[in-house]
A and B are shown apart, each in its own frame.
Chain A
Amino acid sequence: MNAFRRALVREVQHLRHDRWDLAGITLLPGFLIFIVAALFWQGPLLQVPLGIVDGDASTASRTVIRALDASPLIRFGGYYPGEVEAVRAVRAGKIMGFAHIPAGLGESVARHREPVVRILYNGSFLTAGGQVARAAEEAVTEALPEIAADQLPNHAVPASRVRRLAVEATPLGNAPSSFEWFLGLLIFPAVLHLIAACVCAMAIGRELEDKSLSAWAKASGGVASAMVGKMLPYVLAISGWGLVWLLYLTLARGWRVEGSIVLIACGQTLFYTATAAIAALLVAVTRETATALSASAVYAGSALAYSGATLPLNGANAFARTWSNVLPLTHYIALQMGQVSGQAVAAAVAPTTSLMAYVVIAGGGAWAFIMARARRA
């Protein structure tokens, strides 16, 4: 206990004097939280510019254009004389895509010629492009009965048998397709994960003398408790920021966690403890702060891509699936997103156990490494 307290007091005192080390757990996460919060303030995509190539220029095409413009996702992005000009505008970033209305749309609808409305979108910016294209497709499909009715003499459309199949889709947990709730929930654990990895590696790395932790280990009076005392301020600070972020999303922005928010809060502290243990292990093994930091930047910096939260890894290659399970972020995201979407507490057992395994294995490994070297020295 003594070693723990001594290490803790020493670390807090160090933080008081070193403004850079202090900034790493105060200004840096604070600024990044602020900028990401502001970035997704609007939430869902709205009013994305969509161009129109109107080959028909008739009441029918105007109905389609009105329907497109009425979609909250779409803003009228201008008329283009042909697809070539429209593609050029997509290249220049003026529009995210365009709808090509074929000549004779109205007449063809009435005469069952099955005209083709083409919706082309920027596949290089797939998220925004795909969402706009889906919205455009919906708007066009919904405008069709009106067009057909306008063309027919009695202004009535025979009921389509295909339309008899009603499909009702209910998005649970994020009805407006908000990016604030989707990416906001994902980005922050990923950012804090890397911050935790860096600040902890820096804290342990500071004790390196001639590429060895042996001197520190001898003076510490108990490596394990000193390590815990040393890491405690960082884990607490980062967990605190995680809590701030969670409370911002739920209390200030009104999003709802269907499961247990307490479990998420505990889970993230466990996750940052695991990160600290890995940082200690990296420093103990590499015996160089710079290398430990570089390794952290690689494994934690791209962990979000491997978490399967954006593109699910169900169909991925064996390396991606295996490595994804090796990275701690994957397990934390599974725990967090599970609770967010109202999974049972039992579903959180497996990810929690995995996170504990990092603490035990990485922390134990770091301890063993340091002890073995200190004994040899």
Chain B
Amino acid sequence: MGLHHGKSAPGMTFDRAFLETWRTILTSRTLLSTMLLAVVLYAFYYPAPYSHETPRKLPVVVVDQDDSALSRAMILDLDATRAISVAEVVANLADAQADMRKGKADGVILISDGLERQLRSGTPGSGIAVWVNATYLLRASTIGETVTAVIQNTAKTHLLPGGQISRGGPPVAVVTEPLFNRTGGYKGYVFPSVAVIIIQQTLLFGAATFMGGRRRTGLWRMRAAEFGGTLAAFSSVGILGCYFLFGLIFWVQAVPMDGNVVGMMIVVPIFATAVAALGLLVGSVFDRSERAIYMLGPTSVPFFFLTGATYPLDQMPYFVAAFARLIPSTSGVHTFVPLNQMGATLGDVAVPLLTMVALAVVYSLLAYIRIVGSSPRSTLTSAP
């Protein structure tokens, strides 16, 4: 009996299935490159466009109607900032707007006539106007903040005689500082969250490719021991990947870390199990191995945004946030980022951690039912 069940021959123990799965992973070019080499590649490929951390040298056009010593000093100060590069100084607004339409500048800064006079004497009627292309939100806010900072500074240093700074300056200093990711850099923000997505997607692709391949041959059902060994093997791939990224690569990439290393090491196997089980489950409905990347590849970008790393979960409609929580990466980001970057204790991340445990249990059970349980033969043979 059970001939057409092929690999689920009675001799397949947990240990043998574990080793056999690892052997398959290491000898299959597709699995090896999808699950192991891809993680190594992404560890360097993904942080590269964020390595400069902040927006730099965004081109702006300045319209200098005032043409005074003050306005010229202001333009020099603007150009001296990290964020802005003054591409051109023109005399009228139409020229500047034309430059923006040609795509030469991200913003236009107008220093209107009479600014210096207004500042010295208080006569109203002048000011500074900034137009920014807000379709790129980050560029817009960067330019806006920089201009405000430069102008406040110019006003303080160029105009007010020494004795008046304290009386004329703002009465309260407002200090804004980022916690954890202390420089407010983009690599330290994006990469820790993306790392979770990288592990999840590569492991999902791998496990689903494996199961899809077995579906194609028809020999995809397993006994309980074989299923356990296979799941453990894929989970161990995920565990290795997580330790590699969280342990070594964050350090190599100089991502800010305030690590709860023990907590992270405890949680990683739970995350890896949830993802591996989901991968086996999803793969078991595919018709062939290639279907894994075909169907799951395009989910990577939406899954990243569903984690709430950029646009928080509480801002999404309830059903979207609920759906997002079914994806392991969502609780993954909200567990691993606090543990790795924010020095959180396991108690601090209790809610996402419990969600992750629930996902690991439910997906393992569903995968078990799908791959082992529904096989009539396995229920027969498991009877004493």
Residues of A near B310 (CB, < 8 A) are 125, 127-128, 179, 183
How long is the Cα–Cα vector from A182 to B137 in the complex, in angstroms? Answer: 7
Distance of A212 from chain B, by nearest CB (Å): 17
A320 to B45, CA, bound (A): 9
Which of under 10, 10 to 19, 20 to 34, or 35 or more describes the interface residues of A? 35 or more
CB-based contact B130/A183 at 8 Å: no
CA distance A338 to B34 in the complex (A): 36
Tally of chain B residues near chain A (CB < 8 A): 123
Beyond A118-B175, A291-B30, A312-B55, whether A161 also contacts B132 by CB under 8 A is no
B135 to chain A, nearest CB (A): 4
Contact indicator B171/A20 (Cβ below 8 Å): no
A122 to B158, CA, bound (A): 35
Q: Is B219 an interface residue (CB 8 A)?
A: no
Residues of B within 8 A of A194 (CB): 297-298, 300-301
- The answer to whether A130 and B178 have CB atoms under 8 Å apart is yes
Q: How far, in angstroms, from A344 to B100 measured CA to CA in the complex?
A: 9
Chain B residues contacting A298 (CB-CB under 8 Å) are 38, 41-42, 45
The one of A90, A115, A173, A312 in contact with B172, judged by C-beta atoms closer than 8 angstroms, is A115
With contacts A28-B298, A92-B344, A205-B290 known, is A305 near B174, CB below 8 A? no
Query: Interface readout for A121-136 with B: 1 if CB under 8 Å, 0 if not?
Result: 1111111111101101
Check A116/B341 contact, CB under 8 A, given A181-B135, A305-B50.
no
Question: A124 and B133 in contact (CB under 8 A), knowing A45-B311, A91-B343, A315-B56?
Answer: no
- Stretch of B1-9, B148-156, B229-237, B273-281 contacting A (4+ beta carbons < 8 Å): B148-156
Residues of A within 8 A of B182 (CB): 123
Contact among B130, B167, B290, B312 with A167 in the assembled complex (CB-CB below 8 Å): B130
Q: Shortest Cβ distance from B335 into chain A, in angstroms?
A: 10
Given A97-B179, A124-B180: A289 and B311 interface contact (C-beta under 8 Å):
no
Question: Is B184 an interface residue when CB atoms closer than 8 A count as contact?
Answer: yes
Q: Which 10 A-B pairs have the closest CB atoms?
A: A123-B178, A315-B56, A171-B134, A123-B181, A166-B127, A126-B189, A174-B134, A347-B103, A315-B52, A293-B293
Could you list which residues of chain B lie within 8 angstroms of chain A, going by C-beta atoms? Answer: 29-30, 33-34, 38, 41-42, 45-46, 48-52, 54-59, 82, 85, 100-103, 115, 118-119, 122, 127-141, 144-145, 147-148, 151-152, 155-156, 159-160, 164, 166-184, 186, 188-190, 192, 194, 201, 205, 209, 256, 286-287, 289-291, 293-295, 297-302, 305-306, 309-312, 314-317, 319-320, 323, 334, 337-338, 341-344, 348-349, 351-352
